[in-house]
Amino acid sequence: MLEIPGARDVGQVTRVAVLSGSPAPDSRTWSLAAMVAERLAAQGVEVDLIDLRALPASDMLLCVTDAGPVRAALDAVAWSHGVVVVTPVHHAAYSGLLKVFLDLLPRTALAGKVVLPMAVGGSPAHVLTIDYALRPVLVALGAVHVTRGQFLLHLEIERGPDGATCLQWEAERRLEGVLREFTLSMRLHAPGEGVADPRPVVVPRPVPPVVERPVVSSNGVAPIARHDETLVGAAAAVQGG
């Protein structure tokens, strides 16, 4: 069982979005994401477990983000303190499904957030997928800290006769370590008053006061509206000179 020091004492570090980026039904990636979500929830963390496969494909591909499940998934990421990204390895990179979703996020969607990247693959040759393919994207989206990632082999994620998922002992030990690091990193980078509203704040630009002064010209006097008294004085000097 994962023990997170002080996890129940930290009121502001409560929300985590866990993304499963596998397009396959009942995949090991989904099983790992669900396992991570369950362990975080057991420590008092509020978890949004998001199966990207379940989101409407047409809405994702056509960038329909104003309402519906896709909007709800984007909002879950926006309001989270931390994000766990779990993906299968496809052609030495993260999945196309995850790529589509990440492309829907605003440019600074992960600003102020701690991110834990995780990948599931069939060969140790793909262990660098996290650092060379996934991590740069998470950094580009503004993550304040991308923790040490975790790569698991297919064979390390086992399923019993009852369908329950479990990890081999070594994989279990590694998972416990990265989850502890992830949670402690969220505590370190936690905002003082929770997560700020991700919606932009529009501040109206002040309008300079209009100053009306008569400007003398050789043809007479005509009132001219100026936004700056200095410009009025300069114009009068030119006209009089």
CATH number at residue 132: 3.40.50.360
What tens digit of pLDDT does each residue of 171-205 get? 999 999 999 999 999 988 876 544 444 444 344 45
Rounded to an integer, the average pLDDT of 3-26 is 70
Residue 153 has pLDDT above 60, yes or no: yes
Residue 164 has pLDDT above 70, yes or no: yes
In a domain, residue 119? The reply is yes
Q: What's the pLDDT score for residue 197? A: 45
Cβ contact 151:121 at 8 Å:
yes
**Residue 165 shares a structural domain with residue 81:** yes
Q: What's the pLDDT score for residue 211? A: 52
Helix extents (H) in 43-95: 57-61, 68-78
The more confident residue out of 6 and 37 is 37
Residue 53 sits in which domain range? 7-188
Rounded percentage of the chain residues whose pLDDT exceeds 70: 73
213 pLDDT tier (thresholds 50, 70, 90): low
Cβ contact 185:145 at 8 Å:
yes
Average pLDDT over the chain, rounded to whole? 82
In a domain, residue 29? The reply is yes
What tens digit of pLDDT does each residue of 118-152 get? 999 999 989 999 999 999 999 999 999 999 999 99
**Residue 233 shares a structural domain with residue 137:** no
**Residue 22 shares a structural domain with residue 115:** yes
For 77, the 3-state DSSP assignment is: helix
> What is the count of structural domains for the chain?
2
In a domain, residue 157? The reply is yes
**Residue 126 shares a structural domain with residue 216:** no
How far apart are alpha carbons 99 and 64 in whole angstroms? Answer: 16
What tens digit of pLDDT does each residue of 65-114 get? 999 999 999 999 999 999 999 999 999 899 999 999 999 999 999 999 99
**Residue 115 shares a structural domain with residue 169:** yes
In a domain, residue 228? The reply is yes
Q: What's the pLDDT score for residue 2? A: 44
Q: What's the pLDDT score for residue 199? A: 43
In a domain, residue 161? The reply is yes
The more confident residue out of 151 and 3 is 151
In a domain, residue 120? The reply is yes
Rg, Å, the chain Cα set: 27
Label residues 79-97 b or e (16+ Cβ within 10 Å = b): bbbbbbbbbbbbeebbbeb
Residue 17 has pLDDT above 50, yes or no: yes
Rounded to an integer, the average pLDDT of 208-233 is 50
**Residue 122 shares a structural domain with residue 231:** no
Q: What's the pLDDT score for residue 161? A: 80
162 pLDDT tier (thresholds 50, 70, 90): confident
In a domain, residue 74? The reply is yes
Enter the pTM of the model. Answer: 0.75
